Structure 1
Amino acid sequence: MTIYSSKRFSAFYDDNVHLPEQIPDDAVEITHEHWRALLEGQVNGKVIDFDSGDIPQLIDPPVDTSPERYTRDIATRRYQAEISGITTNGMALPTDRDSQALVNGAALAAVVDPAYRCQWKTLDGFIDLQAPQILEMAAAVRLHVQTCFDREAELLDHLEKGTFTEDMLDHGWPA
């Protein structure tokens, strides 16, 4: 069994499988070891480059620097910051989407009934909250979430203007 590599078709050919007339005239013989190493490298995330030399070589895959990739990265980073939680008035609050909904529901009740109070479960146990405290808590969560979206919009603006750099993803998010 002889393995061949064709630069023109970016393909391998095996003389036990392919008829001689099926093997392109630009095909060159490569060793079984090299062929297996190329396939193994491809499985491990490398790319087979048929164009750089006489025989194919493994290279790192090209880095995606498209605006679409950065748009996804920015949105992912915003979501991570959004759900990272906050501390307000000494109380640690989760800010995942479910927690945001619970805070907003309590805030609505506090707006409708200024005498509203509730037992709010924290990491340290339950605390009694009155309407003004609930509204303060909701405002803090809302500010945190909005700041995350504002940062996302700012980064997308940089991306559109061509001034975005990858290190911007790690800076400017609310703490």
Structure 2
Amino acid sequence: MTPHDKLVQQVSELLERKRNRDALKLVREAWAQGTRSVHLKLLEAEACKALLPPDTTGALRAYEEAIALEPDNWRAYNDMGLFLMTEGKRYLQRAVELLEEARRRAPTRPEPSLNLVLAYARTGRDAESVELAQQVLRDLPPDHPLHPQATALVEALLAP
């Protein structure tokens, strides 16, 4: 296991044990010492969100730094979009933009597409939401772990 992998594992374990401040401190110390990775930035964002009260500004900064570090990494756009969806209506349009970018960068991954379906639905773009959900469901093999979730999502969107 590489030193980076050990660090990621250690931070993840701290977050699982709700030792969010310790996780945040460890990530920031590693960053200050020159350790750079999108994964660490995403863990930093998770730690910021898990603080009581949450450090929304810190989480957004960590997501932005992850995107700047690796602009082609779909997960940073995806995770930031999901976070903004939880932050209220005024952030929904930005969430849609980020999720569209995540989907553009990973068109074969179902995660950003399914998240974009939810964002479209929350912004009143119902036709786009249904169309994309049906497309994702068509493209997913029946044994894919997200197939049941995609099926339930299509059913919910089509329910009267």
Class of the TM-score when normalised by the shorter of the 2 chains: under 0.3
Where is the strand percentage greater, Structure 1 or Structure 2?
Answer: 1
Higher Rg of the two aligned structures:
1
Where is the helix percentage greater, Structure 1 or Structure 2?
Answer: 2
Q: Scaled by the length of structure 1, what TM-score is found? A: 0.19
